[in-house]
Amino acid sequence: MAFLPLNKISVNLDINDEIYQAEIRPFSTLLSILRLELGLTGSKPGCLNGDCGACTIIMDGLPYKSCIILAVEAAGRKITTIEGLKNAPIQTAFIENFAFQCGYCTPGFIMNCHALISKYQNPSKETIKEWLESNICRCTSYEEIEKAVLSVIHNEVESRKE
């Protein structure tokens, strides 16, 4: 990590299997760097307070709210944003189950669901509830989102049986 004039730090960020070099102010959040410096606008700014989950990304396999991570903390970690998912099963399931209305919370929900399904092959209802409570959908598509997650889990379980 090299220090540059104007108190900027040069960091390498591993995002969606690409290395981005960025000169950042140390107190810039990962969300602001993703959107304003790197053009990855899929992660949405909502509350900026760690409450709504619209900015959720995956870091080293776990969901994080990128508005409460400094970009400098993400250096050396493996980051996935919504742009890094290419027709993941959960994305298809969201479409098939109409799991959104306005769509603003959708990238955050999808990242959280994707992390959950990647970590657990067959999570309990309690685990699903605990994880998904981290995101807010003001259009209240919660039932459809739950159906989307359960459909992916069901398909995974069935495909393992075959």
The contact set with another protein (CB under 8 A) reads 1, 6-7, 9, 25-29, 32, 36, 48-51, 53, 56, 62-65, 67-70, 72-73, 112, 129-131, 133-135
Which amino acid would we find at residue 44?
K
Nearer to another protein, 1 or 95 (CB): 1
Q: Is residue 8 within 8 Å of 25, Cβ to Cβ?
A: yes
The residue among 39, 64, 44 whose CA lies nearest residue 55 is 44
Give the gyration radius of the chain's Cα atoms. 17
Instruction: Give the nearest distance from C-beta 51 to another protein in angstroms.
Output: 8
Instruction: Give the nearest distance from C-beta 112 to another protein in angstroms.
Output: 6
Nearer to another protein, 112 or 151 (CB): 112
Q: Is residue 131 within 8 Å of 53, Cβ to Cβ?
A: no
- 142 phi/psi in degrees, rounded to 5: -60, -45
Nearer to another protein, 55 or 99 (CB): 55
Instruction: Give the nearest distance from C-beta 4 to another protein in angstroms.
Output: 13
**Beta carbons within 10 angstroms of residue 114's beta carbon:** 23
Distance CA(22)–CA(30), nearest Å, equals: 11
Nearer to another protein, 7 or 159 (CB): 7
Nearer to another protein, 119 or 147 (CB): 119
Instruction: Give the nearest distance from C-beta 131 to another protein in angstroms.
Output: 5
Distance CA(152)–CA(16), nearest Å, equals: 22
H runs (alpha helix) in 40-124: 89-96, 106-119
Instruction: Give the nearest distance from C-beta 159 to another protein in angstroms.
Output: 27
